[in-house]
Structures are given as structure tokens and as C-alpha cells.
């Protein structure tokens, strides 16, 4: 049976990808940030997930205004890194898990989540930067990501985005779907984006460390309550792009405790300001044996 063993939460700033790709990770500006992911890379080497269910948002890359899906699940075999205007990131193609993805789609749609099924999608920094942070740059001798990835894109670009509670409930449905899949698989679910940031207008550059850290506290301890926070609070407290944090609630909703199991173990927690315009938060939660 497939099992969700852990959830991972991390920001996904494009400048982080650029810093990696241009070899700047040891510069004084970037060093503290990347040091914050040293533990995570070692942890992933030990965990060896088979599949990562990766919740992210497209930043006007694969989806233009022609079609804006609220929730889109990738059921393809492969996804190429996107050219976001600076050329594609020099990272491997992403390999999907079509059978598990199709299984999840079927289960979750029957649970009244109105997914869009996607078979063709270039993936932008929202998906590739978390992979780089958690797995490092794959060596040329074995140039591939160490696991399969199911991309799950959430609309957080055009308002209204899905509510925190909708995301949390969706996480529950995803858990049910994954854990009903026949094959033995070690599955992680990642929530990416955020934390506080605003990329627009005279209010650009807003950062709210206190709110961010309270978000991390509550995500660990009382996610169902946190899911009730309305959009407007994200905008007001964490900046217009801070709304990306609703995606973390999907990953959190898929953890065992939400379905009546034991509380997850907080394996790692990290917070750093700034990466470019953004506050970087990172959290690893492991499910515990019942």
C-alpha cells in the first residue's frame, strides 16, 4: 500500500533557483539560506521517497489567462522545466507517476473536488526550486531527480483563490486517495510557496516575521483552526503574494493526525529573511506509527 510518510513545507522563490544555477550559494547573501536546507538534503537521502506529491502554483507560465484551473493535477509521464523568460532552469526533466496520479484524480473527483486533469505542462520555479532545495543539484553522472513527482497546481494568481479550508479538506481527500493505492510506495506531500511577501505596488517588500512564525506554530499544532483564516488576513498581514501559503494547508491536511492518527513529529524547522523579496519558511513533519 502507498503511505504518506512525511510532509515538507518550503518557500519557492525564483531568485533561489537563479542563485543555485549561477553558483552563488556560498555568497554571504545566500549562504545562510542554503545552510538552512543542509539538514533537509541529508534527511531526504535517508528517506528515499518513491513519489513526491508536490503542491505548487504556476506563475503565469503553463497557464495564461486563457485557462485558469483552481486545482490541476498532472497525470503525465514527464514535465519539462519552463522558460519563464530567462531561459529554462538547467535541471532535469520531472518524471511523473501517471498511475498514482490518475488514481488520485479519480478518487478526489468522486469526493467532490472539481480537479482539472493536466497531461501537458511545463513546470516553473514553483516546482523546480523546492526540488533543488530538498535534493540538491543532481550529478551529471546520474542526471535525474531521485524520485517521481506528481505536480499539483493551485490557482493563487487570480482572485478568488481557493479558501484555506477548501485546501485543508482537499488534503484529507488526497490522503485517502494515496493510501488506497495498491502499490507499496513511500510518498511525501509537499506544500510550497510563501511565506510573507508582496511583489507589487508601493507596498512591495512587506515581510511579517511574527505572523509567519505564528503560521508555522499553528500549522504544526492546530491546522484545522489555521485553515479558517480568511484570504484577507493573508493579504493584510503577509502581503498580496503571501496568499500562496494556503497551499501548505493541502499538505498539512494529508497528514495522519487529521484523519485521527497520532500527531506528526516536527523533524525540522527553519526561517530566514530575505530571499529576494520573500520570507523563507521551511518545515518537515513526519507521520508517526499509530
One of 5, 30, 39, 70 touching a second copy (CB under 8 A): 70
Cell of 237: 498581514
125 annotated active-site:
yes
What is the rounded CA–CA span in Å between residue 17 and residue 125?
7
* CA-closest candidate to residue 157, choices 61, 52, 27: 61
Q: Which of a second copy, Fe ion, other proteins, none does residue 236 bind (CB under 5 to 8 Å by kind)?
A: other proteins
Residue 142 touching a second copy (CB under 8 A) = no
Binding-site partner at residue 113 among Fe ion, other proteins, a second copy, none, CB < 5 to 8 Å by type: a second copy
CB closer to other proteins out of 180 and 288: 180
Q: Is 166 in the site for a second copy (CB under 8 A)?
A: yes
| Total of chain residues touching other proteins, rule CB under 8 A | 61
Residues 6+ apart with CB under 8 A from 141: none
Other C-beta atoms within 10 Å of 28: how many?
6
Among the listed residues 12, 59, 97, 125, the single catalytic one is: 125
User: Is 137 one of the binding residues for a second copy (CB under 8 A)?
Assistant: no
Is 55:65 a contact under the CB 8 Å cutoff?
A: no
Task: By CB under 8 A, tell whether 120 contacts a second copy.
Answer: yes
Given the DSSP bridges, would you call strands 71-74 and 148-154 parallel, antiparallel or unpaired?
A: antiparallel
* Of 143 and 159, CB closest to a second copy: 159
For the question of residue 197 being annotated catalytic, the response is yes
Please select the residue that binds a second copy; options are 23, 28, 46, 66, rule is CB under 8 A.
66
Pairing relation of β-strands 2-10 and 185-192?
Answer: parallel
Out of 14, 81, 162, 191, the only residue in the binding site for a second copy (CB under 8 A) is 162
Cα 123 off chain centre by = 13
202, interface contact from a second copy, other proteins, Fe ion, none, CB < 5-8 Å by kind: other proteins
From 3, 5, 69, 199, residue interacting with a second copy (rule: CB under 8 A): 69
Which of the stretches 20-28, 52-60, 63-71, 268-276 binds a second copy when contact is defined by CB under 8 A? 63-71
Looking at 16-24, 62-70, 92-100, 195-203, which segment touches a second copy (CB under 8 A)?
Answer: 62-70
User: Hunting for cell 496568499 — which residue is that?
Assistant: 243
CA-CA distance, 123 to 117, in Å (whole number)?
A: 15
* Residue of 12, 59, 97, 197 marked active site: 197
Angle subtended at Cα 81 by Cα 77 and Cα 86, rounded to the nearest 5 degrees: 165
Joined grid coordinates for residue 217: 506554530
Q: Can you tell me the distance from the alpha carbon of 77 to that of 84, in angstroms, rounded to the nearest whole number?
A: 22
**Residues sharing a CB contact under 8 Å with residue 47, sequence separation 6 or more, in sequence order:** 5, 6, 186, 188
Residues binding Fe ion (CB under 5 A):
193
Residues binding a second copy (CB under 8 A):
65-72, 105-106, 109-110, 112-120, 158-160, 162-163, 165-166
Catalytic residue ranges: 125, 197
Amino acid at each position: 500500500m502507498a503511505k504518506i510518510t512525511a510532509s515538507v513545507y518550503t518557500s519557492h522563490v525564483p531568485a533561489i533557483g537563479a542563485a543555485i544555477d549561477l553558483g552563488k550559494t556560498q555568497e554571504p547573501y545566500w549562504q545562510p539560506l542554503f545552510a538552512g536546507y543542509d539538514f533537509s538534503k541529508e534527511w531526504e537521502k535517508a528517506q528515499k521517497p518513491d513519489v513526491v506529491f508536490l503542491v505548487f502554483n504556476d506563475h503565469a507560465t503553463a497557464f495564461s489567462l486563457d485557462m485558469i484551473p483552481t486545482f490541476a493535477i498532472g497525470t503525465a509521464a514527464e514535465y519539462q522545466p519552463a522558460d519563464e523568460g530567462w531561459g529554462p532552469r538547467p535541471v532535469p526533466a520531472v518524471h511523473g507517476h501517471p498511475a498514482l496520479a490518475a488514481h488520485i484524480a479519480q478518487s478526489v473527483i468522486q469526493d467532490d473536488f472539481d480537479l482539472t486533469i493536466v497531461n501537458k505542462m511545463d513546470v516553473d520555479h514553483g516546482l523546480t526550486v523546492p526540488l533543488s532545495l530538498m535534493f540538491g543539484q543532481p550529478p551529471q553522472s546520474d542526471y535525474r531527480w531521485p524520485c517521481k513527482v506528481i505536480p499539483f497546481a493551485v490557482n493563487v494568481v487570480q482572485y478568488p483563490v481557493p479558501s484555506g479550508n477548501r485546501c485543508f479538506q482537499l488534503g484529507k481527500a488526497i490522503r485517502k486517495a494515496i493510501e488506497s493505492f495498491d502499490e507499496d510506495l513511500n510518498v511525501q506531500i509537499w506544500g510550497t510557496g510563501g511565506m510573507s511577501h508582496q511583489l507589487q505596488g508601493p507596498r512591495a517588500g512587506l515581510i511579517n516575521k511574527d505572523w509567519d512564525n505564528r503560521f508555522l506554530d499553528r500549522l504544526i499544532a492546530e491546522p484545522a483552526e489555521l485553515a479558517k483564516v480568511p484570504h484577507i488576513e493573508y493579504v493584510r498581514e503577509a502581503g498580496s503574494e503571501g496568499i500562496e501559503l494556503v497551499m501548505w494547508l493541502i499538505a498539512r491536511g494529508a497528514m495522519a493526525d487529521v484523519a485521527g492518527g497520532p500527531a506528526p513529529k516536527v523533524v525540522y524547522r527553519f526561517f530566514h529573511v530575505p530571499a529576494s523579496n520573500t520570507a523563507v519558511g521551511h518545515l518537515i513533519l513526519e507521520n508517526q506509527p499509530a
